[in-house]
């Protein structure tokens, strides 16, 4: 229970309007987008500048109060679930783009900047920030960095970690730690940036982020390839990569997802297709034309019944908007949606797609599949109702089976959604006991009072 005196001390830092204790507010920030149990925090704080953020962190540490920092709460592994009676720090008051440097091609932002707003501001300056999670319209850059978010363009352009040049974050004493620099290269000191990206709020609280920008591609071409068998589509993914073509985006959707998305977005997707590949190539116009021709030829060779090339930007945008709506479209169908992101080496995509069908059959569940197939990162999606205890048990078993399969193929538990609470019990299966011990040593050295988002990644 947070005492009146302590609450007053927090209020003195953030101001009355930025401190919330009403039940409705506590409930609002008790859950995120993952299917894990909600937990009521004790207090919500919304600092609006770095000084207030630092002082709040210090006050929490001095009083042994656990902190969960929250961007938009869209993460899918439970990273923003608070600790009972703990403090939630909202970053939506820290939402300024501090600098866009077109000459040296970097930007400095506060953590609460919305991803898509940032990408648009950068584009207005003639530059490009590629990481584009499906949630980009609401997700924050702080959340993206803390989860090492990916997106639709990961195949060619990489993920958030490939764009973080440096950080300023607060340690548990509220002292500013600086990592990286505004330079293209930086070999000074430990690579603390690498440690912090993907740390899910467990090692420090980001205050400023330096992000790399790149020139925008001169030309783009998007296409939709239609298949009458899932296998043919997944084999085409592997064949495109094996042929050394690196599209900007190479997405997969099975029939279950196509129907849900079409019903939701009316984008004109062929609802009878067994699977679709959504492909975009970009770069120099001549290269784009050649890559597009090669992709189209490969799709046809491997059995695509048709390949539709987007006639213009409007048609292209419609296709990508439809793809981005996949999760929301599926979520409408049943009370509970479990979305996984086990990832395999790309050559294993056909085997993984088959394995997911077998797992669905074995556990009597329908598992829809879509995702960033070009990265080996599929999103098997189970629609269920958590209140049905018998079915939920089978869902748990199916999830464990999906992870086992992915690991057996040399894959990973998470391509982009992080570990959070949802996957922490599986971490040792992918790594080793020593990895967990080592990680826990880092955590206890940097956060001796265990106040920074305890329980996430490495468990309690």
Ligand X SMILES: Cc1cc2nc3c(=O)[nH]c(=O)nc-3n(C[C@H](O)[C@H](O)[C@H](O)COP(=O)(O)OP(=O)(O)OC[C@H]3O[C@@H](n4cnc5c(N)ncnc54)[C@H](O)[C@@H]3O)c2cc1C
Residues 428, 432, 435, 440: what is their CA dihedral angle, to the nearest 10 degrees? 40
Minimum CB separation of residue 273 from ligand X in Å reads 22
Residue 135 lies near ligand X (rule: CB under 6 A): yes
Between 21 and 40, how does the x/- string for binding to ligand X read (CB under 6 A)? -----------xx-------
> What DSSP state is assigned to residue 48?
-
- Burial of 119-155, coded b for 16+ CB within 10 Å and e otherwise, reads bebbeeeebbbbbbbbbbeebbbbbbbbbbbbbbbbb
Q: Using CA atoms, how far apart are residues 199 and 44, in angstroms rounded to an integer?
A: 21
**Residue 436: Cβ within 10 Å count:** 16
- Strand bridging mode 67-70 / 87-90: parallel
Stretch that binds ligand X, among 11-19, 148-156, 185-193, 397-405 (CB under 6 A): 148-156
Question: What is the per-residue DSSP string for 57-109?
Answer: HHHHHHTT--EEEESSS--SSSTT---TT-EEEE-TT---EEEEETTTTEEEE
Binding to ligand X by residue 457, rule CB under 6 A? Answer: no
Binding mask 417-446 vs ligand X (x if CB under 6 A, - otherwise)?
x-----------------------------
Is there binding between residue 111 and ligand X (CB under 6 A)?
Answer: yes
Instruction: Give the nearest distance from C-beta 101 to ligand X in angstroms.
Output: 22
> How big is the chain, counted in residues?
460
Of 143, 174, 198, 374, the one binding ligand X (CB under 6 A) is 143
Least Cβ distance, residue 362 to ligand X (angstroms): 28
Residue at shortest CB range from ligand X: 143
- Least CB distance from residue 422 to ligand X, whole Å? 12
Q: How far is it, in rounded angstroms, from Cα 355 to Cα 236?
A: 17
Least separation in angstroms between residue 290's CB and ligand X is 28
Q: Does 61 bind ligand X (CB under 6 A)?
A: no
Q: Which region, judged by CB under 6 A, interacts with ligand X, from 127-135, 245-253, 360-368, 387-395?
A: 127-135
And the tokens for 40? 């009521």
Residues that bind ligand X (CB under 6 A): 32-33, 68-76, 79-80, 91, 111, 133-135, 139-140, 142-144, 146-147, 149-151, 200-201, 205-206, 327-328, 416-417, 453
């Amino acid at each position: 229970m947070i005492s009146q005196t302590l609450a007053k001390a927090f209020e003195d830092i953030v101001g009355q309007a930025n401190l919330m204790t009403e039940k409705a507010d506590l409930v609002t920030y008790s859950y995120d987008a993952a299917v894990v149990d909600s937990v009521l925090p004790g207090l919500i704080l919304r600092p609006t500048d770095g000084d207030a953020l630092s002082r709040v962190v210090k006050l929490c540490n001095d009083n042994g109060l656990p902190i969960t920092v929250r961007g938009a709460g869209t993460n899918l592994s439970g990273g923003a679930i608070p600790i009972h009676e703990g403090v939630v720090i909202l970053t939506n008051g820290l939402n300024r783009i501090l600098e866009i440097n077109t000459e040296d091609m970097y930007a400095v932002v506060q953590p609460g900047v919305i991803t898509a707003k940032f990408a648009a501001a950068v584009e207005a300056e003639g530059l490009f920030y590629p990481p584009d999670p499906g949630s980009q319209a609401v997700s924050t850059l702080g959340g993206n960095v803390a989860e090492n978010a990916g997106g639709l363009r990961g195949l060619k352009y990489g993920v958030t970690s490939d764009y973080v040049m440096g950080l300023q974050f607060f340690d548990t004493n509220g002292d500013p730690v600086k990592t990286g620099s505004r330079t293209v290269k930086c070999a000074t000191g430990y690579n603390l940036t690498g440690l912090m990206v993907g740390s899910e709020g467990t090692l420090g609280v980001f205050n400023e982020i330096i992000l790399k920008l790149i020139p925008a591609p001169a030309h783009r071409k998007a296409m939709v390839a239609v298949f009458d068998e899932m296998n043919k589509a997944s084999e085409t993914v592997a064949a495109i990569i094996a042929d050394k073509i690196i599209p900007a985006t190479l997405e997969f959707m099975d029939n279950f997802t196509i129907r849900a998305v079409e019903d939701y977005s009316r984008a004109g997707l062929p609802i009878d297709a067994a699977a679709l590949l959504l492909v975009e190539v970009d770069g120099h116009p001549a290269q784009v034309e050649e890559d597009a021709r090669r992709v189209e030829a490969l799709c046809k060779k491997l059995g695509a019944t048709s390949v539709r090339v987007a006639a213009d930007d409007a048609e292209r945008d419609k296709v990508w908007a439809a793809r981005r709506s996949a999760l929301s479209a599926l979520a409408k169908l049943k009370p509970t949606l479990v979305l996984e992101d086990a990832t395999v080496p790309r050559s294993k995509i056909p085997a993984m797609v088959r394995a997911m069908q077998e797992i669905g059959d074995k556990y009597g569940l329908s598992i829809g599949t879509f995702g960033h197939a070009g990265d080996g990162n599929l999103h098997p999606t189970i629609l269920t109702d958590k209140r049905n205890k018998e079915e939920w048990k089978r869902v748990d078993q199916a999830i464990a089976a999906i992870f086992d399969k992915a690991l057996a193929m040399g894959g990973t538990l998470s391509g982009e959604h992080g570990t959070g609470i949802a996957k922490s019990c599986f971490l040792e299966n992918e790594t080793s006991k020593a990895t967990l011990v080592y990680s826990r040593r880092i955590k206890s050295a940097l956060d001796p009072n265990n106040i920074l988002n305890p329980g996430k990644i490495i468990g309690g």
